[in-house]
Structure 1
């Protein structure tokens, strides 16, 4: 790259290589239970390399225990039970509609029967000759003679 002339070469600098320092485990100060509503005291920890870390002591959190999941999901069980329940109800719905149709037919027949009975009672009242009417004239139609559109009794 560079010509053989060494005057154009850059000056060589000392290269410093930094190696990462592994972190060592630090023994935390023992935790003291706190009264509710009090401010915890500031705690200082001295690391092995001489650095000092200052802060509040925090109680370690414990993860929730993992519960074992069932082999079959609850959603699948609920869907299956819903299907079984729907199948069981379908037969009842068919019977319910049949019952409603039969009840409607019974009500219709009772209404017709009431109309026939009430109509018969009215007919008996109208066509029964009653001598109890005061001032009424009873005409025997079989003896009447009709001549030239005039009624003669």
Structure 2
């Protein structure tokens, strides 16, 4: 076996000859002149290659692709439901505080009414049972009364 993996010696193999295809020259057509606004002409850049040749041309800004809109990992509906739940919990907390406030206010009013009743009742009792406040009027002396046959003996 030969180094090129054929079964023929190099002298017996046919040679393939390839001839280059000539490239037809392009006829230069002058480009139409396009009016350019001052200040919009790009800067000319020159680059020196390692073999000493200089390449001059306009610097072209690379085309940047449009940013791809990122999709959320969570749907908007799920986010809205979660925010609604947080709002509902906040309202429930406020209602709990409101009912606690109403309960405390009711207890305070009840205690004030009870205190007023005790004070007013004490004042009435003092007025009724005080001897110094009694002036004139009928005096009744109570003693043992006897009732016999629907007749009062007093």
Greater RCO between the two (CA within 8 Å, min separation 6)?
1
Which has the higher Rg, Structure 1 or Structure 2? 2
Both structures adopt the same fold (TM-score exceeding 0.5): no
TM-score when scaled to structure 2? 0.40
TM-score when scaled to structure 1? 0.40
